[in-house]
Amino acid sequence: MYYTYILFSVDLNKYYVGSTNNLKRRLEDHTRGKDKFSRQAKDWQLKYYEDYNTRAEAFSREQEIKKKKSRIYIENLISSAGSEHPDL
């Protein structure tokens, strides 16, 4: 299983969109600062994710979200999911 995910940092007041095959490990990587952008904060929270059968599908969706360059779009995705995707 592969995932497209959205994280949020209160400290930065920014969202991060990515894709992975291991959500829990990836969230830990971001929190520990293993990624250049995400090391700017230590308070990343998983806000949303979608699951896919292939890496290509998850990456394609990641790119689709990023191309919109819209905080409103991201916040609408998160609010539309409600409690559909509980935290890890």
pLDDT of residue 80: 87
Give CA–CA dist 43/10, Å, rounded.
Answer: 7
Residue bearing the bigger pLDDT, 2 or 86: 2
Residues 6+ positions from 35 with CB-CB distance below 8 Å: 29
Give CA–CA dist 72/15, Å, rounded.
Answer: 11
Whether residue 63 contacts residue 49, with contact meaning beta carbons closer than 8 Å, is answered with no
Helix %, strand %, coil % for the chain, to 5?
A: 40, 25, 30
Number of domains in the chain: 1
Residue bearing the bigger pLDDT, 81 or 24: 24
Residue 86 lies in a domain: no
Residue 47 lies in a domain: yes
Residue 8 lies in a domain: yes
pLDDT-based confidence at 49, cuts 50/70/90? very high
pLDDT of residue 33: 78
Q: What is the CATH number of the domain that holds 39?
A: 3.40.1440.10
Query: For 53-71, how does the pLDDT look when each residue is reduced to its tens digit (9 = 90+)?
Result: 999 999 999 999 999 999 9
